[in-house]
């Protein structure tokens, strides 16, 4: 085993040395920038996208569910990553300026080596009462970060491929790519809570909207980063007031969602942000239309979230016992099991907010000036471009829900999924997923695909 560890680190060291030895350019000629992309580089792009975008996230999910396929899949991912790095530094043809993609590739050797070392150490089953518990936690933290590492590196790769985000364009790239990625992450987390995360939220003692409001409020930094220089442009004023809107609304949302209550304030903030972006005039007509559709999509996400919170999710009802009406709303536990199926129309509707958030995030990331100038110069209209983005959103959301479903049906969760269809009982102790009260109307609570002991 020690020999295998030494060999693994020797390979990583040689690979790291080869990366450092690869020549990066600070300046490029027109011939170098416009040279054709060779087959080796295309193989590098598709291989690394498959490994970091699909293989590693799948392995992470199988690790969370304690599946026996976790180690083989991650081992294959490490091997293919090495092959991808070699391909990425062996191509000919088009050259690229030195940038974040190459630098982050070097940084990625740290989590790769750490995860490999921790995985081998855990297989040894030593120091069971001292070091091993900490190694398990570290292995889990690093593993859960892999999808984020992969997303960032793939984004850096796309930027490097097109030569974007340099000079005066850096600020706009940061605004679009960070905020767009934030909407995608928001939609992903919302989907996790919808499908498998309810037990964790119950244990946290806080409603989903309490967490949403804190994230929105902490976006206060956006208030101070959107204005540069001494002259206030229209865009500066709009972006800065959006920052104010987020932290001001976030404070209200935190207050209203205290004591495990639901709140629609986060959804209202999303709607207002979408409305502002839909009327955000741009230099190109193409850009104006893309921003408009982004805004409409974001407003739709907020509207469907309000509907979901107020009318679709299980509802608080007044608990009446021995003639006394309790002041606290509790979840009605009496229900027809057949109406609580995980395949009910209500459950299908609740996919709308996360999908629309993912779609709006992709649209916003695709709406930088450099991207839209390229699309405009290529003669593509806004309809085609927007439909391309929605097609990618469908693929991305399919991957998200597939991975979530894999968690609930693999490893330690497989038996529960087979015998109980992954459902849990809704009782007063897990009442968090309920909308605000609406008169005396009552909606039947529905079951969810997770076991009581599972974690997101």
**Average confidence (pLDDT) over 215-235:** 72
Q: What is the pLDDT of residue 58?
A: 95
Q: What is the pLDDT of residue 69?
A: 93
pLDDT at 328 over 70: no
Q: Minimum mean pLDDT among 24-28, 154-158, 274-278, 286-290: which range?
A: 24-28
**Average confidence (pLDDT) over 69-97:** 87
Cα dist. 142→108, 117, 137, 178, 185 in Å?
11, 12, 9, 21, 18
Per-residue confidence at 315, pLDDT binned at 50, 70, 90? very low
pLDDT at 449 over 60: no
Q: What is the pLDDT of residue 52?
A: 94
Q: What is the pLDDT of residue 45?
A: 92
Q: What is the pLDDT of residue 326?
A: 39
Highest-scoring range by mean pLDDT, 210-224, 387-401, 414-428? 387-401
Q: Minimum mean pLDDT among 29-33, 104-108, 258-262, 408-412: which range?
A: 29-33
Per-residue confidence at 380, pLDDT binned at 50, 70, 90? very high
CB-count burial class (<10 Å; 0-12, 13-18, 19+) for 434: buried
Q: Minimum mean pLDDT among 122-131, 277-286, 369-378: which range?
A: 277-286
Long-range pairs for 19-28 at CB < 8 Å and ≥24 separation?
19/85, 19/89, 19/102, 19/105, 19/106, 19/109, 20/106, 22/89, 22/102, 24/96, 24/97, 24/98, 24/102, 25/95, 25/96, 25/97, 25/98, 26/97, 26/98, 27/97, 28/95, 28/96, 28/97
Q: What is the pLDDT of residue 432?
A: 42
DSSP secondary structure letter of residue 258: T
Percent of the chain exceeding pLDDT 70 equals 74
**Average confidence (pLDDT) over 98-102:** 86
pLDDT at 333 over 90: no
Q: What is the pLDDT of residue 111?
A: 92
Q: What is the pLDDT of residue 23?
A: 56
Per-residue confidence at 13, pLDDT binned at 50, 70, 90? low
Question: 16-62, pLDDT tens digit by residue?
Answer: 555 544 555 566 666 666 678 888 989 999 999 999 999 999 999 99
**Average confidence (pLDDT) over 443-454:** 39
pLDDT at 241 over 60: yes
Cα 96 off chain centre by: 28
Supply the mean pLDDT for the chain.
78
Q: What is the pLDDT of residue 37?
A: 81
Q: Residues for the chain: how many in total?
A: 456
Q: What is the pLDDT of residue 436?
A: 41
Percent of the chain exceeding pLDDT 90 equals 39
289 touches 382 (CB < 8 A): yes
Q: What is the pLDDT of residue 12?
A: 53
Per-residue confidence at 450, pLDDT binned at 50, 70, 90? very low
**What is residue 317's three-state secondary structure?**
strand
Q: Minimum mean pLDDT among 46-55, 179-188, 339-348, 387-396: which range?
A: 339-348
392 touches 218 (CB < 8 A): no
Q: What is the pLDDT of residue 55?
A: 95
Q: How many CA atoms lie within 13 A of 441 on its CB side?
A: 11
Q: Minimum mean pLDDT among 89-93, 262-266, 280-284: which range?
A: 280-284
Residue scoring higher pLDDT (220 or 214): 214
**Average confidence (pLDDT) over 84-111:** 85
Highest-scoring range by mean pLDDT, 52-61, 78-87, 208-217? 52-61
Q: Minimum mean pLDDT among 160-174, 305-319, 426-440: which range?
A: 426-440
Q: What is the pLDDT of residue 146?
A: 92
């Amino acid at each position: 085993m020690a020999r295998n560890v030494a060999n693994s680190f020797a390979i990583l060291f040689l690979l790291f040395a080869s990366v450092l030895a690869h020549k990066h350019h600070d300046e490029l000629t027109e011939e170098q920038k416009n040279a054709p992309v060779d087959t080796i580089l295309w193989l590098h792009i598709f291989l690394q996208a498959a490994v970091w975008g699909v293989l590693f996230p799948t392995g992470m999910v199988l690790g969370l569910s304690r599946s026996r396929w976790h180690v083989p899949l991650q081992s294959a991912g490490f091997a293919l990553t090495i092959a991808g790095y070699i391909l990425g530094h062996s191509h000919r043809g088009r050259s690229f300026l030195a940038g974040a993609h190459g630098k982050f590739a070097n940084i990625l050797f740290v989590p790769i080596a750490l995860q490999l070392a921790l995985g081998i150490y855990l297989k040894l089953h030593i120091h069971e009462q001292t070091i091993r518990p900490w190694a398990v936690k570290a292995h889990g933290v690093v593993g859960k970060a892999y999808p984020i590492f992969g997303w960032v590196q793939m984004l850096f790769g796309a930027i490097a491929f097109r030569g974007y985000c340099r000079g005066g364009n850096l600020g706009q790239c940061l605004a679009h790519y960070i905020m767009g990625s934030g909407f995608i992450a928001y939609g992903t987390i919302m989907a996790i809570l919808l499908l498998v995360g309810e037990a964790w939220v119950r244990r946290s003692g806080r409603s989903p909207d309490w967490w949403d409001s804190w994230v929105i409020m902490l976006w206060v930094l956006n208030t101070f980063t959107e204005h540069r220089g001494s002259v206030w442009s229209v865009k500066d004023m709009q972006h800065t007031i959006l920052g104010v809107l987020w932290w001001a609304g976030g404070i209200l949302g935190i207050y209203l969602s205290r004591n495990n209550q639901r709140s629609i304030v986060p959804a209202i903030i999303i709607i207002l942000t979408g409305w502002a972006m839909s009327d955000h005039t741009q230099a190109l007509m193409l850009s104006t239309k893309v921003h408009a559709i982004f805004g409409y999509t974001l407003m739709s996400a907020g509207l469907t979230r309000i509907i979901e919170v107020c009318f679709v999710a299980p509802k608080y009802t007044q608990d009446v016992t021995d003639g006394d009406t309790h002041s606290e709303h509790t979840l009605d536990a009496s229900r027809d099991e057949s109406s609580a199926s995980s395949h009910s129309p209500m459950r299908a509707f609740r996919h709308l907010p996360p999908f629309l958030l993912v779609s709006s995030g992709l649209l916003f990331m695709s709406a930088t000036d450099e991207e839209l100038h390229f699309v405009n110069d290529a003669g593509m209209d806004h309809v085609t471009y927007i439909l391309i983005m929605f097609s990618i959103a469908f693929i991305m959301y399919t991957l998200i829900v597939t991975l979530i479903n894999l968690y609930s049906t693999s490893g330690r969760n497989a038996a529960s999924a087979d015998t109980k269809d992954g459902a849990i009982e809704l009782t007063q102790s897990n009442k968090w997923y309920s909308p605000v009260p609406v008169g005396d109307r009552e909606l039947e609570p529905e079951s969810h695909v997770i076991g009581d002991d599972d974690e997101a």
